[in-house]
Structure formats: structure tokens, C-alpha cells
């Protein structure tokens, strides 16, 4: 008999349920007797012993269901070692609940912060296996994370729909795509949706270059422009500021985000009407796309296989089109950013996409 704890942590996304289903089905199909304990609302459930016993039937029919049947929450790693408001040592509480429940393994699904905590628990002696979840695709050690392709599909659909209204009214449209630190989602959705300008955190933009790109389109007879902007896009000037200075500047800004500031600047410089569309959390929602259903199932299956073999301290990742195991120590604390010299960016520039640089 194996007792498996499972939790989903951080922002939700598509295919969390599909990945958990893959783990459980693999364990059940092995003939191994198992008990599944689902911790509610992420690490909070493990800290405060909030959980429910699950059976195989709980994982039936959830392949296509978005969100997470366990609930989730953000438990920042930077405060994980700080006592809570009642003085509780959160790390010791997680270890204690793990042992009290007699768990053989803890399966954790999450992104960067989640993996930092998972690695900490692994170093504290818990048996941990993780799965890479984030629509940002910024997790080190894997070429792909589940949730990413579904989010690309949603953001692309938004850009597709903006095209018709932009062309009808002859406007400049900015579509703000999720991604505070990296531009994987914005880049892929922008390319798929035929955006004319793509602004990502890894390539600081020059406003004058953006204006030049808009004016060039006008000269060539294109009376509208589509700009895909990552939440974390940053100007060349702001990129030279310290993080503290940038935060202070944002606090004083009259604009809710970089997209609205850009809209104002572009409108003043070109005299054209500029509108902003923010798909926001729709990018995290809804049913996972077929790719993510297959991908998450594969990752979950391999996680189940690692548990059966007693191999712990690993994230199940994806490298060169193969499912692989990656040491948690190699994953935790590392961000997978886009290389400004990457082939996909060079190819985008070949077809005329401007990155404002």
C-alpha cells in the first residue's frame, strides 16, 4: 500500500486535472494498492492539514476540465520560512503533516515558486515528485509546461478577433498578454495571430522604433496595426533603473499597465486612435486544448512511474520531444527566459515583425 499526497500550487491553468489523472491512473493500472490524499488550496492544505481522501472515481471525467479539483493558492517561497500570524513554523508543519498521514510521496504541480518550496521539502527529507505547470512556460529544465499551449490558443484567438475590428476602424490595437518576466506566451500568440509588433520583457523597447514601425505600415497602405504586449514589457529607459526605482515609478504612474502607457504615447506621436484589449485571466481558463491533454497525461504517467520505482526528488520534464526526469535542485530558483538571439525571434524579424529594438 502506498499513500500519495497531492497538491496544486500557484496560479491555476488548464490541464492540472489532466496531469493528476495521469498520475493516479498509472498507479491504479499498475495493480499497486494506493490511497490518495488531496491537499486543498495548495501548500496551505499541507501546512494546516486541510485535505480529503480521494479515490479513482474522483479522477474520472476530469481530462477535459479546466482549473483544479483540489483548489490552489499562492504561498510565496520568500516567506515560507517565516512564522504565520499565529507563530506557526510552516515548514515544520508541512513535514509534520506529511509524516502524521504516513505519506510515501508528495506529488506537487506548480511553477517556479512552487518548485522552490518542493525542493526545500525534498531537502528536508520528504519524498517529492513534481510536474511543471505554468502558462508562462518559464520553468527551467523543461522545454514545455502544461497550460502553455492552451493559453497560446486563447491569446491567439483574441488577437485574431481584434484583427477584424482593427481593420474595420483603421485603429492601432494593443493586446496585453500575460507574462511578467518572460515573453514565451506573447511571442507565440503574437506570431500565431499575425501581430505586427511584439514587445516582450527580454527585449527592452525603444518607443521611437515602435512609432517608426507604425508609420512604415501606414506608408505601405496598412491603416491598422496590431501590437502584442507582454505584461512585463519594459522600455530601454526603464530597463536601466533598479527594481526598486521601477516599482516606485509604477506607483506614481497614472496608467494601470504598460499597455495603457504605450497607447497614450503612440496616440500622441501618430495622431491615430489606439485601443487596449486585456484578455487577462481568460488565458488561464476553460478546457485544456488537445495538445495539453496529451502532454499533461504523459507527464502524469511518468510521475506515476517514478513513484512506483521509488525515485524521488525529481520534476518530470520534456526535453527534445522526450519525457525526462530532472533533479529538483537543478530546477528550483532558475527562470527560463527567451534568448533575444533565438531562432524564433530572428525568423519573426525576417517576416517583418518589430520588437521595438
Residue 242: what pLDDT?
A: 86
Q: How far apart are CA 357 and CA 208, in angstroms?
A: 9
pLDDT tens, residue order, the chain (357 aa):
899 999 999 999 999 999 999 999 999 999 889 999 999 999 999 999 999 999 999 999 999 999 999 999 999 999 999 999 999 999 999 999 999 999 999 999 999 999 999 999 999 999 999 999 999 999 999 999 999 999 999 999 999 999 999 888 889 999 999 999 999 999 999 999 999 999 999 999 999 999 999 999 989 988 899 999 999 999 999 888 888 888 888 888 888 999 999 999 999 999 889 999 999 999 999 999 999 999 999 999 999 999 999 999 999 999 999 999 999 999 999 999 999 999 999 999 999 999 999
| The three grid cell numbers given for residue 148, joined into one nine-digit string | 502553455
The second-level CATH assignment, the architecture, of 149-284 is 3-Layer(aba) Sandwich (3.40)
Question: The pTM is what?
Answer: 0.95
Residue matched to cell numbers 506573447: 186
Q: How far apart are CA 241 and CA 283, in angstroms?
A: 30
Q: Which residues in the chain are classed under CATH 3.40.50.460?
A: 149-284
> What does each C-alpha distance from 267 to 131, 174, 200, 210, 263 come to in angstroms?
44, 12, 20, 12, 6
Residue 254: what pLDDT?
A: 87
Residue 241: what pLDDT?
A: 86
> What does each C-alpha distance from 226 to 158, 166, 195, 223 come to in angstroms?
11, 8, 5, 11
Residue 249: what pLDDT?
A: 82
Residue matched to cell numbers 527529507: 125
| The three grid cell numbers given for residue 101, joined into one nine-digit string | 498521514
- For the range 243-248, what are the long-range contacts, defined as Cβ-Cβ under 8 Å and sequence gap of 24 or more? none
Q: Which residues in the chain are classed under CATH 3.40.50.450?
A: 2-147+288-331
| The three grid cell numbers given for residue 149, joined into one nine-digit string | 499551449
Task: Identify the CATH number of the domain defined by range 2-147+288-331.
Answer: 3.40.50.450
**Residue partners of 221: CB distance under 8 A and separation at least 6:** none
Q: Which residues form the catalytic set?
A: 136
Residue 88: what pLDDT?
A: 96
Amino acid at each position: 500500500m502506498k499513500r500519495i499526497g497531492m497538491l496544486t500550487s500557484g496560479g491555476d491553468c488548464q490541464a492540472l486535472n489532466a496531469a493528476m489523472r495521469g498520475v493516479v491512473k498509472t498507479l491504479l493500472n499498475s495493480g499497486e494498492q494506493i490511497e490518495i490524499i488531496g491537499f486543498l488550496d495548495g501548500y496551505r492544505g499541507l501546512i494546516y492539514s486541510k485535505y480529503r481522501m480521494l479515490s479513482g472515481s474522483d479522477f474520472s471525467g476530469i481530462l477535459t476540465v479546466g482549473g483544479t479539483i483540489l483548489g490552489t493558492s499562492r504561498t510565496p517561497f520568500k516567506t515560507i520560512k517565516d512564522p504565520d500570524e499565529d507563530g506557526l513554523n510552516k515548514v515544520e508543519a508541512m513535514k509534520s503533516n506529511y509524516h502524521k498521514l504516513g505519506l510515501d510521496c508528495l506529488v506537487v504541480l506548480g511553477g517556479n515558486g512552487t518548485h522552490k518550496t518542493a525542493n526545500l521539502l525534498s531537502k528536508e527529507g520528504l519524498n517529492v515528485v513534481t510536474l511543471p505547470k505554468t502558462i508562462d512556460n518559464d520553468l527551467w529544465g523543461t522545454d514545455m509546461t502544461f497550460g502553455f499551449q492552451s493559453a497560446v490558443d486563447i491569446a491567439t484567438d483574441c488577437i485574431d478577433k481584434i484583427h477584424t475590428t482593427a481593420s474595420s476602424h483603421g485603429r492601432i490595437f494593443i493586446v496585453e498578454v500575460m507574462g511578467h518576466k518572460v515573453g514565451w506566451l506573447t511571442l507565440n500568440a503574437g506570431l500565431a495571430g499575425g501581430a505586427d509588433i511584439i514587445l516582450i520583457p527580454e527585449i527592452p523597447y525603444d518607443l521611437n522604433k515602435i512609432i517608426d514601425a507604425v508609420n512604415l505600415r501606414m506608408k505601405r497602405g496598412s491603416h491598422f496595426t496590431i501590437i502584442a504586449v507582454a505584461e512585463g514589457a519594459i522600455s530601454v529607459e526603464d530597463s536601466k533603473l533598479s527594481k526598486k526605482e521601477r516599482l516606485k515609478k509604477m506607483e506614481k504612474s497614472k496608467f494601470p499597465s504598460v499597455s495603457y502607457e504605450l497607447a497614450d504615447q503612440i496616440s500622441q506621436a501618430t495622431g491615430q486612435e489606439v485601443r487596449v484589449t486585456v484578455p487577462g485571466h481568460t488565458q488561464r481558463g476553460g478546457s485544456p486544448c488537445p495538445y495539453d491533454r496529451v502532454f499533461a497525461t504523459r507527464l502524469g504517467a511518468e510521475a506515476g512511474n517514478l513513484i512506483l520505482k521509488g525515485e524521488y526528488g525529481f520534476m518530470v520534464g520534456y526535453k527534445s520531444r522526450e519525457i525526462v526526469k530532472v533533479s529538483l535542485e537543478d530546477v528550483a530558483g532558475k527562470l527560463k527566459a527567451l534568448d533575444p538571439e533565438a531562432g524564433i525571434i530572428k525568423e519573426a524579424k525576417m517576416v517583418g515583425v518589430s520588437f521595438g529594438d
